[in-house]
Amino acid sequence: MANLGPAHYSPYPVAFYDDLLTPPEGKALLLTEIVDEEVAMREIARVMLTSENATIFPGPQVLYAWNEEAKKKATLIKEMSEVLNAKMIPMYDYRPKYPKIDAEVEINPNHPNLTIWHNEIKACIFVGVHCHYANVALKMIRSETDCYTAAICGLSGHEDAMATIRDQHTKEMARFIEIAKEVKKELGK
Amino acid sequence: MSIKNMTKEKNWSGQKLVSTDYLLFEAPREKHFMTGSEVLKEAIKRCTVDASVSYPITPQSEAAHLIGELWAEGYVGLYFRGENEFGVMSEVQGCAMAGARTVTTTSGPGTLRAMENFPTWSGTRIPCQLILMARGINSPLTIQPDNLEVSFLLETGCMIWYAENVQELFDMSIAAFTVAEKPDVHVPIITAVDGFFVSHTREAVMLPADDIALEPYDPYAAPLPPIDSEMPPGRFLRDPFVMKSNYISYATHASWQWEVRSAVERSKPYARHYLNGLVHTTGEENAELVFVACGTAVHQAKEGQRELAKLGIKSKVVKLRTIRPFPHAELLEATKNAKYIFVPEFNVVGWLDKEVRTSLYGKSDAKIVGRPRVAGGMSMPAEAILKEVFENTNLKGA
């Protein structure tokens, strides 16, 4: 059943095993529930603010200045990390890292669990990672770690994350930051 | 003609760009009388296709040749001939990885020659389309309807849709691009029809005007970056992680394969919309006798259903429009009252029978009969279907 891991020996696809798919437009997915986007945003903020070593994993789409939106998103993600008291560890490319990844300074979709284990990360946000690599990583993380995963996606979202919001562009990310500020105030963090 | 001629309103050939919903559901249509190959040409003409590669073997359908004509007429951006079917499918992959909306057509022998490419297509998440005009597998050679090759494609990670007739071929092959290109799907799609019956024979078909076409493919709304030889899948060729012998790399490969299968599952909501359901039923809704079929076997099952109705026996035909993803929930619902399920097929192995049995195992008490099976170009007369019904049930005509 789709839930917080470590869940299974093998990477766990909730679409295949549990019929959980990406949320419809305007909605979000929280574990097994389709919810309003704001509900998911509040829950992501709450989990990030109350979990040990919460970390944002920004991907290539927001790490490099491909276009104006990427630059704006990068600025917003920096603000997001400050509001959520979260570290940032980049996924700056998708190449498998051999002989060994430096888990302290980067995460890689081919062995994301190493970074999560090494840094004892209990909650994370994927943002700006191409969907395929995010999904490959999220299935492994659910399988092998107890890290709560959230995905802020500019396209259709990620059912393999425990929380996912979709169609997230600069306006929506700014809204998430405002909601996170409210949650932070409510929690007294 | 050049891609530089593309505007926000019109594609390079001057066709007005419209939504898939408008093209499929709203645009006025006129009646035509065409072969399946000709209808496919008309569909591709309206799809703003960037590239098509083919290997025109003999005997074959005319489809690839007719897509070549579209290139000459200025509707398809690029068209060339591969050295063989393996080359064609590799070149299709190259075009699609570079960001082109790409289509090709083939049938049984070519399919098997190119086989290695299909799981590679899905592993690289390219949204290309293969029109499979199924005609069986050598030897002996046949161009008649026999869909044995579909059984080889079931686990390639590609979506597989199956059209019953030329109308469905037209509509499906347009919808196929749209669904395959959804960012959360983004896997190849195989649109299958039974060769000869559909590819070579004429039927009435309703077509919208040819001055409208699909919006172009946006390769940046994709789950992978466009081709980059420094990262997977481009880097597969140089540094495949499966060759690194450690547990982490195995887990990556496992997750990658699951992700491809997940992507196929994610196509279901889109396919339900554009195909008006993953299954279609005909006949008596509560019938205890149900035929489950795809392709032209559906047409013959409907003939059988009408003949049985004349004898006072109620039956229903469940047409599966998608094979991958397999419509498990829809099939279970459509067969919930069934005491007998027959799976008529145009092949000797009964691959759809196996699919139906696997899907309903432990969920249905119906007796499943994988007959009749005909192959190699044999027809499937209604009498053959009725004979199986009377031999395998206790149903008696009035």
B148 and B25 co-located in one domain: yes
Q: Tell whether the model's pLDDT for residue A34 goes beyond 80.
A: yes
**Among B230, B255, B260, B270, the residue to mutate for chain A (most A Cβ within 10 A):** B255
Q: Say if the Cβ atoms of A157 and B184 lie within 8 Å.
A: yes
- CB-based contact, B232 to chain A, within 8 Å: yes
B207 and B133 co-located in one domain: yes
Q: Tell whether the model's pLDDT for residue A151 goes beyond 70.
A: yes
B59 and B138 co-located in one domain: yes
B209 and B353 co-located in one domain: no
CA distance A37 to B233: 33
Q: Say if the Cβ atoms of B259 and A136 lie within 8 Å.
A: yes
Question: What's the average pLDDT block by block, 10 residues per block, for chain B (398 residues)?
Answer: 80 97 98 96 98 80 90 95 93 92 92 94 95 86 84 97 98 98 97 92 96 95 76 52 58 92 98 98 96 97 97 97 98 97 96 98 98 92 96 84
pLDDT at res. B239: 53
Token pair of B88 as six digits: 């064609």
Residue at which a domain ends, from B214, B236, B263: B214
Token pair of B300 as six digits: 């013959």
pLDDT at res. B196: 87
Provide the chain B residues 121-150 that lie in CB contact (below 8 A) with chain A.
Answer: 125
Contact B283, B385 (CB under 8 A): no
B200 and B308 co-located in one domain: no
> Could you tell me if residue B387 is inside a domain?
yes
> Could you tell me if residue B223 is inside a domain?
no
Residue A157: closest C-alpha in chain B: B184
In chain B, DSSP assigns E strands to 16-18, 29-35, 51-54, 78-81, 102-106, 129-134, 159-162, 189-194, 202-208, 212-214, 279-283, 289-293, 315-320, 322-324, 340-342, 367-369
Q: Which domains does chain A have, with CATH numbers?
A: 34-183 (3.40.50.12640)
pLDDT at res. B29: 98
Place of tokens 């099939």: B331
How large is the average pLDDT for residues A175-179?
Answer: 98
Place of tokens 């007959």: B371
> Could you tell me if residue B259 is inside a domain?
no
Domain containing residue B380: 279-392
Number of domains in chain B: 2
CA distance B33 to chain A (A): 39
Q: Say if the Cβ atoms of A111 and B261 lie within 8 Å.
A: no
Residue at which a domain ends, from B214, B231, B259: B214
Comparing C-alpha atoms, which of B137, B185, B152, B191 is closest to residue B168?
B191
Chain A hits for B259, Cβ within 8 Å:
13, 132, 135-136, 139
Q: Say if the Cβ atoms of B255 and A132 lie within 8 Å.
A: no
B207 and B285 co-located in one domain: no
Residue at which a domain ends, from B198, B214, B230: B214
> Could you tell me if residue B352 is inside a domain?
yes
Q: Say if the Cβ atoms of A131 and B223 lie within 8 Å.
A: yes
Distances (CA, A) of B118 to B102, B311, B341: 14, 46, 32
Question: Cβ of B110: how many Cβ atoms within 10 Å?
Answer: 25
Here the CATH number for the domain that contains residue B387 is 3.40.50.920
Place of tokens 């024979």: B201
The per-residue pLDDT of chain B, averaged, comes to 92
CA distance A164 to chain B (A): 13
The pTM of this model reads 0.95
Write phi, then psi, for B396 (nearest 5 degrees). Answer: -125, 135
